Amino acid sequence: MNATPNKGQLLGYARASSSDQDTAIQEAALAAAGCSVIRSEKRSGTSLKGRDELATLIAFARSGDTIVVTRIDRLARSIADLAALVRQLEEKGVALKATEQPVDTSTAAGRAFLQMLGVFAEFETAIRRERQLEGIAKAKDAGKYQGRKATIDAETVRKLRAEGKGATEIAKQLGVARASVYRLLSDAA
């Protein structure tokens, strides 16, 4: 008796970068692709940290399953993150597929195309960041950009330090990060 190998489930992942964006179009495409489970979240793609729905989907996936995204940039924006995800999936025996791109890590051509797309996604992120920094510099030169307003009062930090309080205690009292207190104290010195 010859058993047919288990093809596994198609598991969909949708992501939007900000709360004013919608994942409905991605979710519909993933459902149309046959995904039995679809997880979505609104988080930046520049980091894997805080991407709880993606982590849940990867933990849920079993050998033979395929994680499906509409486009690779929905999954990762850096080569390092993309490579780490693909390696993690391969170790579990899980494939990765994109509905709008010829990406399918179960084939050599799909893996090659995935690597090329990863390079372009990282390049796009770097270009966007450069443009943002150029815009900020122009706004500063024109006197229209002042930066973010200070969240802690430097004088209060110095006063508490003069009273003999340590950075940890000052940070707790003001509800700020200890690193911010250290930075402010080192700038003052």
CB 47 within 8 A of CB 81: yes
Q: Report yes or no: 37 and 57 within 8 Å, Cβ to Cβ.
A: yes
17 is catalytic: yes
Give the C-alpha distances (Å, rounded to integers) separating 92 from 96, 110, 127, 187: 11, 18, 34, 48
Residue among 49, 44, 55, 3 at smallest CA distance from 21: 44
**Structural element, H or E, at residue 16:** strand 10-16
Report the amino acid identity of residue 77: R
Catalytic hit among 17, 36, 40, 44: 17
CA dist 136 and 145 (Å) reads 7
Residue 40 pairs in a beta bridge with: 14
Question: What amino acid positions are annotated as catalytic residues?
Answer: 17
